[in-house]
Structure 1
Amino acid sequence: MMLPEQIAGEDPEDTRLLKEMLEKARAYLTRHAWCPAIRETRLAFGIGGIIALFLVQLEERIAGTDDQLWVVVGDLPSAYFVLDDVPGPPSALDTYCSLMEDWVEAVLSGHGLQECFPVDAKPSRTNALALKSRLAFLRQHVLSEAPEQHDGPQ
């Protein structure tokens, strides 16, 4: 996993986009009132402008429990989740897809969103189908590219 100063994409444009996504991930997480200060952020996996997965180490535990979170940002809804049973990037991306698929299914079936991760998108059929398509692409083409290791902060 790469520290911010180590982030390097496949080319200068990819590097620029990944660094912008780092700032987007930090801003997304810190806009939540419960979020303590961030100690360290590492890029676990990224495709500039499309998707980036960050492992975030917090200065203190959230409600006495977790001090690390996965954060996903990109051209799809942002999300955060704890590391429990999510040992590395492929598992984290799979968890992200599952969280978003729950939202898609709830929207398309007309069920309430109370049990779903809060997605920053209007719960419309159009948005659900667009997200469903992106998630299918991620599962088919991106998850296989994510490295297995989890060598971030413990």
Structure 2
Amino acid sequence: MKTLILFTIFNFTFFLSLAQIQSDRESVKNVIIAFQEDFNDGGFKNAHSYTTDDWVHINPGGGIINGREEVLNEVRAVHQTFLKGVTMTIEKMKIRFVTPTVALAVVTHLISPFELPVMVMHENQRNIKTYVVVKHENKWLLSLDQNTVLQAN
């Protein structure tokens, strides 16, 4: 009888943890989708709801920007110039939990055509982004994103 009770408790705990992991996975995915929606809009008007105060952004050129307000200044500036109207869509996403409160997502995005520098069109560009998403006060927030252009084969 004790074995049956122990087995039942173990199974119940196991299934609860699986449900929590799936819930957290969806929450992390929603943070990335919110970032993508703000990227596509260009204004990043919802960033305060899904980023940490100390958000770090590493752009494709290797520039590192620290702090939400500084990151927003940069991304808004580029989305008002050469990335104006440019959108990205998720092709693939892999989410791994490093700890129960830290998730790492590797996402391949297809970027709509844009010109940079002048007279050089980028078409069918794919970027791979690494997102670090942390759980803070029971809410998942973007803490770091790093963007790399994938080379065409």
Above 0.5 in TM-score?
no
| Larger helix fraction of residues | 1
Q: TM-score scaled to structure 2, two decimals? A: 0.36
Give the structure, 1 or 2, with the largest relative contact order (CA under 8 Å, sep 6 or more).
2
| Larger strand fraction of residues | 2
- The higher radius of gyration belongs to 2
Q: TM-score scaled to structure 1, two decimals? A: 0.36
